[in-house]
A and B are shown apart, each in its own frame.
Chain A
Amino acid sequence: MNTVAIRRPGMHAARRGQVMRLFGTAAGLAPFAVFVTLFLILPVAQMVAGAFASPGGGAGLDNFRRALAPQYLEAFRTSVALSVETALVGAVAGTAVAYAVAQGELRHRRTLVITFCTVTSNFAGVPLAFAFITTLGVVGWVTVAFQAVFHVSLYNDLGFTIYSYLGLVLVYTYFQLPLMVLLAVPACAALRREWQEAARNLGAGAWRFWRDIGVPVLAPPLIGATALLFANAFGAYATAYSLSSGAINLVPLRIGTLINGDVSFDAGLANALGVGMTVVIAAAILVYQAANRRARRWMR
């Protein structure tokens, strides 16, 4: 039997229908695909391509070589340090609060705390910087009150200033804390009472329970949340911009100067720094994703 014999007119119609359906499906996805390509994929691709472009034309690592200059390496170091420190402080304190409202003594205050955290986790950027300046700035009321009570000036005697690295730590911690609480409450709430009771029945005391079950079960979601906090701080621009007035060497601020300044305009270098920044954040997000997958597997 040859192949021509089994071709019937209906086949053509069926295949055409299939093609049409495929075409229809694609048409529905077109707006989103075009939008994402133009305003998300292409900008990132542009940045990457620009980073690998040589000033003289062609591809090269010139921009990355320049990005390895001491002041930029220092910027990465400072950004990583700031993000790690505020993520850790936020994670530890946030978990403590989350545990208290999810399992501990303040279970009845859960809704209140979650509402409060939802609101404050969105307080950030320029207004938050102002709030800290009016509180802990040179004439901020806490500064003034501290002087009045202890007869020691935070600024003149202790060398503190809100426009410093320490100031940034305080402000970043402000938005890290409530975010951590929001991320950690579900994780803590998922610790089942049955696990603790089963462990006790089997002869394990509280310490033993935490070592064998509590900590291993809580670790993935909390590590994931900490990674997210890290990414959150690493990419932050507005808060640092309004607090540092250029005095603190952070990667986002460096990029900002390179693309906004007239004198310092250097897109190639900015692109290289941007790629570096994206790689760091992507790594943190991958940790978050991996930890979350593991956590989801256990928590049902």
Chain B
Amino acid sequence: MIQRLVVALFFLYLLLPLSGILGFTLLDGGRLTLAHYRQSLGDGEFGAYMAHSLVLAAGTVVLGVSLMTFTTFWVHTRARALKPLLELTAFLPFVVPAVTLALGLIQLYSHPPLALTGTAALLVLAYTVLTLPFAYRAVENGLAAVDSRTLSEAAQSLGAGWWRRFLTVIVPNLWPGITSAALLGFALVMGEFTLALFLVGSAYETYPLYLNQVWRTDPKYGAALAVLSFLITWASSVAILWASRRAPGQMQGAALR
């Protein structure tokens, strides 16, 4: 009985703020309206900044997932002794919160030879750093689950070279893990605020930056965009669960805070 009560209160607490923002955006003077959501359709800025975020997400996912998949499998097959080092490195981003990463990157890359601040490229690279831990986890779990070594050796005994083994045997078998890592990366980029604020700001405004900006002038519209953000997160999370059929790397949200 007490257990049920605790779980009910837990659900209540987590649903309450959502009820607030839904009510705020859907009700106007006591009437139900979708006007604040419809507003986004005619908003050119919204489209542009959403496109920015989608480009960043695509870049991050492709870069992060391919880098991690390739490197992890390489270490697995050719440099097993380096596995602990890889694991440690892939874990490091946990220790470096977004503000401090931004702090270091700004000082390094705001002047030649690498004047990258304000470019989408730097943001993609920084986001890729944030994806390392769970991309590594996903690939590593996948490699462990399919017994990559045996698979790879089996393919080798049939005469397949390294690249052929990697692309035709390993990658297809890692697909569920890769998919969930990609979705995690996508959700992360679509909601990330801190690095975008410090590294590019208005030079390449992203969707989270835009909704924060809108909120100050038009709270109802800003809140509607926030609900949209929740929907993107929700859809990605459900897709991740569906793709991996288990709880994914839970740390992803850390980057959003």
Contacts and interface: CB of A to CB of B under 8 A. Distances in A.
- Residue among A45, A121, A126, A142 with the highest chain B CB neighbour number at 10 A: A126
B60 interface: no
Nearest to A113: B7
Contacts of B70: 28, 31-32
A106 B4 contact: yes
A285 B23 contact: no
Interface residues of B, number: 84
A134 interface: yes
Given A39-B125, A104-B3, A267-B107, A132 B20 contact: yes
B104 A43 contact: yes
A132 to B, nearest CB: 5
Contacts of A82: none
Interface residues of A, number: 88
Contacts, number: 264
Contacts of B238: 115, 119
B146 interface: no
Contacts of B138: none
A81 to B, nearest CB: 17
A127 B211 contact: yes
Contact of B250 (A43, A50, A131, A179): A179
Contact of A47 (B68, B103, B128, B192): B103
A206 B187 CA distance: 44
Interface string B118-131: 00000001101100
A32 B4 contact: no
Interface stretch (B8-16, B37-45, B170-178): B8-16
Interface of A: 24-25, 28-29, 31-32, 35-36, 38-40, 42-47, 50, 93, 96-97, 99-101, 104-106, 109, 113-116, 118-128, 130-132, 134-136, 140-142, 173-175, 177-179, 181-183, 185, 228, 231-239, 241-242, 252, 255-256, 259-260, 267, 270-271, 274, 277-278, 281-282, 285
Query: Ordered nearest first, which 7 A-B pairs have the shortest CB separation?
Result: A43-B104, A135-B20, A235-B97, A236-B257, A127-B226, A131-B17, A134-B24
Interface of B: 1, 3-4, 6-7, 10-11, 13-14, 16-21, 23-25, 67-68, 70-71, 74-75, 78-79, 82, 86, 89, 92-108, 125-126, 128-129, 132, 187, 191-194, 197-198, 208, 211-212, 215, 222-223, 226-227, 229-230, 233-234, 236-238, 240-241, 247-248, 250-254, 256-257
